[in-house]
Structure 1
């Protein structure tokens, strides 16, 4: 009997978006700009939260971890994509592909639970303000984050093993710009309905359970807000929740469409565009979403800018003063 070596893939080829060289250059510049903006924006959020005492609250504790996940998210996908825009043979090894899927799935799942934790924080702040300080203690918030990361690792392990235990004996060309679940499942030549159902079940449980939790939290918030008769109270509640709701809508909407709509293998070109939203655009937009309408963040940015300008002014004055002073051996 002749051993069929085609059942084991040693490497994959990522087809990306286009084979045209002129468009690849444009895509490279665009993705590089997105990556730089993502890194600067999310690192800026983390640094602001670390240095500003007014931001040492549970809400911004969760936001700092959301920014960290967005950095990891982008760093898992975009650097490899940038390299592929520049090389002719867009190859990724079996191990690196599995590692990319595992890292991506871990960040994606953890982000779902962090968004749910932020919704619960808003619920406690608006619906139970007298219990907020006690309920949202540092220990409790740390435990919630540890649980989110643990859920991410467990889910991504099931996700990755379910996909990479399949034999890939068709073309090793992944019709995507990174190793994502649906395009990898489309490469399998065996009956993968069980594995596809497993992936959909894991993703569905994480997304739908956190979605239900978020909806319950915000329905409770809405019931309390409707009882507020002052415009200031309405505005405060709306400004607290608006940014989070926009982020949830973008992230959950695209994720649900990508993983839970039927027959995804027959619309990989469409899925490729949708995946851009939750894997590339959302990590870039989150710092803007949470900063533009957030008074605390804007105040922290103004204070940080003031400190930087003050430091530069002091250094500039010192340098000018040193230039005016005579050197040793010179006449005053």
Structure 2
């Protein structure tokens, strides 16, 4: 007889439910949220598990890797589908959620989620930490501007390099205020130093990665965008075609159709928010700052004339995602002229 397991994971404990192919509950237990503890329960010889279901979440990558290494048929599935399936339950508890998840496995009603490789998980962590330090440093700078504005001291337009000098110039004749501002300047300086360290590490990774170097042949695509793209996509072959990357990154409009009603809304904004933002910024740079003319810029300019600038930037961001996938898969480089483009990359 075949058995199916559903795991409802929380930070401390995981509710485990094992059912047979008829839907009967065979075992229910709560285990510490650790791969070894879960594997000890799931590898019981009494249960020949056909599928073990794990919901995508903060611990899913770590647990997935540990259970897969233990030889268990673990599957990570979409959180939104799970929420919709379990919504019919009157009482939401960890036990009921584990039961519902196990039933999803039994009736094969789920959509699997790709779990990134360990290398790209580390790259993603680098990008996240770098972005966090940058945001905190900018937040301290903005707070300093607001703090000094209360005393009539205006920092004005100044770059990151001369920011600290400018603050000290403004507070030179006010020792009490300078004493208050100094700890904030020290915190900002430390944040900027650590940001520079992580940025240098990012540049080193990009220089050693042939795929990232090819992606950077696209105008407006720099090392941050290239590394974020490879870390998010992970394996390009998991997409049926390059056009499937756009919907996966939330860059395609939502369609709502019912009877005679058919409404096309804004982009879905599902998937990875960091990469979507970076692609939007790259598209904006290509459309407004890149002076050299290219066939993609000409296409985006025509879209802007018909639909507006904002929609043109979103459409160009989606096209950039498709082009980057083609370049990664085909081993090609960006071609500025449309006449030089092979049919596969058109």
Judge same fold: TM > 0.5, yes or no.
no
Q: Which structure carries more helix by proportion?
A: 1
Q: TM-score range by the shorter chain?
A: under 0.3
TM-score (norm. length: structure 1): 0.25
Q: Which has the higher contact order (CA 8 A, sep 6+)?
A: 1
Query: Which of the pair has more CA radius of gyration?
Result: 2
Q: Which structure carries more strand by proportion?
A: 2
